[in-house]
Amino acid sequence: MQATRLLQTGDIRTVEVPVPQPGPGEILIKVEASGICGTDRHLFKGEFPSVPGKILGHEFSGIIVDSGNTGMAEATRVTCDPNTWCGACVQCLRGRVNLCQNNVATGIQRDGGFAEYCAFPASKAVALPSDLDPLHGAFCEPLACTLHGMDTGAAQPGERVLVIGGGVIGLMAVQIARLAGAEVTLLTRGAEKQSLGRDIGAHHAVGDAEALRDRWPVGADLVVECAGVPATVAMAPSLTRTGGRIVVLGVLPQGQQVPIEPFDLLFREIQMHYSFLNPFTHARAAEMIATGKISVAPLISRTITLDQTADAVASPPPKGEVRAIVVPG
């Protein structure tokens, strides 16, 4: 089969490899769709820790073709929660499974979904409706991560929520905040993404901080940073109202530093939170996509083949792209 491997930092290739054989407790999935995430590009650049030689792809779904002795039904469409917590370390025992000291992340520490087939732990597979668009299953993982961040921010009805960044995470955060009953503004530079943000639920969309300050002079109750850019993380406090809160969902490169003024955070009692992975949210994300509560079709910018995947990961996304989906085969 074909698969796209990150051999080492800066060296990613689509190669021929054997079809994996599922081990105990694993199923074999024929991958239908796998999203290219910003984290994949961080991995390529060496900005996020990984194990060399692994098949990338942690946002994927597909059809079970071999269920082994797991009890799952073959031909079931599933979405794949890529994080396998150990359940025994101090963080797992505290319920903080996303901080598991022994987590094994599919597509980072074990082979992932940029492949025709993937052997995957049955316990981390969540069933999807058979009539769901195959491409939509690839959005369950990013939605699960977004849900964790939005749970942390806890938007309330009538609050003002600012979402910074018009990528997949930002556009999902817009929809979640709208469902919570908040007034939502999307801040993103591109006119196309501003328009898309309004189409999927943002009450307002602006291109810079000054436009946001003109609309909300006292700031937002909740600011959700989804761009993963030092400048937007640094400016988030200035866009937050006194007594408000910030959640950083965007992933910055390892080692990147951002200037923050603790005096301002202290005297205005700004809460600044960070959100990592998807603890206990993947099944909820699958249900929200399956029932259409979250719209993902407008977020698909293009589909590509495995032959095109290495170049797509190694290159910056085209202007205006929200999500490229790898369709194996």
Return the active site residues.
39, 42
Q: Report the C-alpha gap between 85 and 2 in whole angstroms.
A: 28
- Name the CA radius of gyration of the chain, rounded: 20
In angstroms, the CA 175 to CA 271 distance is 22
The set of residues, in sequence order, having a beta carbon less than 8 Å from that of 211 and lying 6+ positions away, is none
- Residue 247, classed as helix, strand or coil, is strand
CB 35 within 8 A of CB 134: no
Q: 200-221 burial, b for 16+ CB within 10 Å, e for fewer?
A: bbbbbbbeebeebeeebeebbb
Lookup: tokens for 1: 């089969």
Measure CA 44 to chain center: 17
Angle at 217 between CA 213 and CA 218, to 5 degrees: 125
> CA 306 to CA 257: how far, in whole Å?
35
> How distant, in Å, are the alpha carbons of 129, 141, 177, 193, 212 from that of 207?
38, 28, 19, 10, 8
